[in-house]
Amino acid sequence: MTQEYQNLIGGRWTPARDGRRFERENPATGEPTGSYPRSGPDDVRDAVCAAQDAAAAWRRTPAPRRGEILFRAAEILVREKERFARELTGEMGKVIKEARGDVQEAIDMTYYMAGEGRRSFGQTTPSELPDKFAMSVRAPVGVVGCITPWNFPMAIPSWKIMPALVTGNTVVFKPSQYAPKSACNLVKTLEDAGIPPGVINLVFGEGAEVGATLVEHPAVSLISFTGSNAVGRRIAMQGAELGKPVSLEMGGRNAIIVMDDADIPLALDGVIWSAFGTTGQRCTAASRVIVQAGVYDEFAERLVQRAERLRLGNGLDERTEVGPVVNTDQLHKIDAYMAVGRDEGATLACGGATTNVGDLGRGYFFQPTVFTDAKPQMRIAQEEIFGPVTALIKVGSLEEAIAVNNGVPYGLSSSIYTRDVNRAFRAVEGIDTGLVYVNAGTIGAEVHLPFGGTRGTGNGHREAGTAALDTFTEWKTVYIDYSGRLQKAQIDSE
Ligand code: UN1
């Protein structure tokens, strides 16, 4: 029988009020992986209430104590890493090595934010007046709603939940319905680490019901969302109307630039990893490769050879290099882009179809695909496909490469392969994305540096690093006048 999972509300694992459920299946095999509450607005309201009730005591808990709970959670994640990784692969498909990396990223973030319990520095600065002291401290915002996608089901929730908790907020967490077990594992870990009831609440269900209620709820002070641009924009508009800050992370259309003087084998490794790792289902995936004319033909040929050899399969098999895509909708969406690319005049150099050879027939597999002769304005070079598909674009110069790189609606990650340090620095300066890599692919951000993007990717916020603390706290500026008399800033100091 399929195992039944529950919401966590106010420290109690409970079904949806009206008893509805949904099932998730393994995208590699079609087998059921669990049954989850299909929650409705009432469940969200219960969770928000629980988070509100827990807020006062949690914000008064000294930050180092909050950090210790996170530290214990990180220790549990370390112990359970293999099991969590296997369950993660089983429900969203990424290959097991990468699933371990996903859990590791959550471990890294949890340790990192545990340390913030003893930092969370503010400023002290001299006042312009005598006998007056000035400082700034961080204050929690209150109840935070975290809405997360399926492609990094451990890492991305940890980017939101850990900084929110350590800075004294309480959380209502709505994970993707395509990776619910990992969400459960993460929340259970926090519970086992000793997080008080109501401080973290978990509500499973669909965006239209659960997510929407969370965004609109007046007691939710902040929404942190990672997902599609369409949903993110809607949340931003609602947030503006309700006067509610929202932090958005909404995908990319990232490129690797390969210059004539690049180390070609290294660049090939970088493209294969960045385009087809996680089956291309990373916001940071290299879905475009901008290649200088002098090496274009050779690069295209060698890339196609490598892509054709990639081994598709169940991610739990250690030999598998590319797992399934997450669901049938994604499979159809990716498939539909094949015709779009061909109609626009790009050449389908390899892949281009779903595959159901042998066991693959039970899952959602799409062949690693390379389009050559793509032009910068084609839809296959502009729109986020989110699958194992990359498009090669030929350019003449570094300036043109940078212009093409920047000429998309998104601005998350970019990379350049060159041996010329001057070119590398010129690219770093000219590229308009939140992340830039030199002689490395577009994926692989580390947790202690800011993560996020420009233009259609974000709305000015960054996750990870100390930048995350700015999202989850308000600055409180404190002046203490110990002169015993009325002192007037800007006036008495003349
Ligand atoms: C994402 O795809 O949204 O830099 C996150 C990377 C990973 C995180 C990706 N550390 O590719």
Q: Which of 103, 120, 210 is nearest to 157 (CA)?
A: 103
Residue 4 CA to residue 52 CA, distance in Å, equals 27
Domain CATH code at residue 199: 3.40.605.10
Note down the domain range covering 86: 7-250+458-478
Q: Which of 87, 191, 209, 249 is catalytic?
A: 249
SS3 for 315?
coil
145 C-alpha to ligand 1 centroid (Å): 21
Ligand 1 pocket, residue 464 CB under 6 Å: no
| Residue 488: inside a domain | no
Question: Are 277 and 309 a contacting pair, CB within 8 Å?
Answer: no
Q: Is 80 a catalytic residue?
A: no
* Pocket flag, ligand 1, residue 445 (CB < 6 Å): yes
Q: Are residues 118 and 212 in the same domain?
A: yes
Q: Are strands 200-202 and 170-174 parallel, antiparallel or unpaired?
A: parallel
The answer to whether residues 357 and 384 belong to one domain is yes
Q: Note whether 193 and 292 are same-domain residues.
A: no
CA–centroid distance, 466 to ligand 1, in Å, is: 17
Domain-embedded: residue 1: no
Q: State the closest ligand 1 atom to the C-alpha of 251, by its place in the atom list counted from 1.
A: 3
Which residue matches tokens 């077990």? 181
**Co-location of 244 and 330 in the same domain:** no
Residue 196 DSSP code: P
**Could you write out the three-class secondary structure of 435-452?**
EEEECCCCCCCCCCCCEC
Residues 235, 319 within the same domain: no
Determine whether the shortest distance from the Cβ of 151 to ligand 1 is under 6 A.
yes
Of all atoms in ligand 1, which is nearest to the CA of residue 444?
A: 4
305 shares a domain with 400: yes
Nearest partner of 164 among 133, 129, 190, 135, judged by Cα: 190
CA of 482 relative to ligand 1 center, distance in Å: 49
How high is the pLDDT of residue 355?
Answer: 87
Are both 258 and 189 inside the same structural domain? no
Residue that the structure tokens 């010329």 belong to: 420
How much is the pLDDT for 449? 98
Query: Looking at 49, 146, 283, 350, which residue is catalytic?
Result: 283
Among 410, 438, 466, give the residue marking a domain's end: 438
Task: Using the atom order of ligand 1, give the atom closest to the CA of residue 443.
Answer: 11
Residue 446 lies in a domain: no
| 310 assigned to some structural domain | yes
On whether residue 449 sits in a domain, the answer given is: no
23 catalytic residue (yes or no): no
For residue 119, count other CB atoms closer than 10 A to its CB.
Answer: 13
239 shares its domain with 361: no
Cβ of 283 less than 6 Å from ligand 1: yes
Q: Look up residue 300 and give its two tokens.
A: 């295209």
Query: Does the C-beta of 292 come closer than 6 Å to ligand 1?
Result: no
Rg for the chain, CA atoms, rounded: 24
Domain annotation covers residue 179: yes
Pair 264, 238 in one domain = no
Q: Is residue 493 part of a domain?
A: no
* 277 and 241 part of one domain: no
Residue 358: the pLDDT is: 84
CATH number at residue 299: 3.40.309.10
Number of domains in the chain: 2
- Shared-domain flag, residues 199 and 278: no
Q: Which atom of ligand 1 is nearest to the CA of 105?
A: 10
Can you give the pLDDT of all 494 residues of the chain as single tens digits? 789 999 999 999 999 999 999 999 999 999 999 999 999 999 999 999 999 999 999 999 999 999 999 999 999 999 999 999 999 999 999 999 999 999 999 999 999 999 999 999 999 999 999 999 999 999 999 999 999 999 999 999 999 999 999 999 999 999 999 999 999 999 999 999 999 999 999 999 999 999 999 999 999 999 999 999 999 999 999 999 999 999 999 989 999 999 999 999 999 999 999 999 999 999 999 999 999 999 999 999 999 999 999 999 999 999 999 999 999 999 999 999 999 999 999 999 999 999 888 888 899 999 999 999 999 999 999 999 999 999 999 999 999 999 999 999 999 999 999 999 999 999 999 999 999 999 999 999 999 999 999 999 999 999 999 999 999 999 999 999 999 999 999 999 66
Closest residue by Cα to residue 254 from 391, 397, 429? 391
Please indicate whether residue 284, judged by its CB atom, sits closer than 6 Å to ligand 1.
yes
Task: Specify the pLDDT at position 493.
Answer: 67
59-101 pLDDT per residue, tens: 999 999 999 999 999 999 999 999 999 999 999 999 999 999 9
- Same domain? For 287 and 139 the reply is no
Q: Which atom of ligand 1 is nearest to the CA of 451?
A: 4
**Cα 256 to ligand 1 centroid, rounded to whole Å:** 16
Q: Is 485 inside any structural domain?
A: no
Rounded Cα–Cα distance for residues 447 and 74 (Å): 14
User: Token digits for 143?
Assistant: 């109840």
Probe residue for ligand 1, chosen from 284, 410, 413 as the CB with the greatest number of ligand atoms within 8 Å: 284
Does ligand 1 lie within 6 Å of residue 444's CB atom?
A: yes
Distance 265 CA to ligand 1 centre (A): 23
Is the minimum distance from the CB of 152 to ligand 1 under 6 angstroms? yes
Ligand 1 pocket mutation pick from 228, 451, 463 by most atoms within 8 angstroms of CB: 451
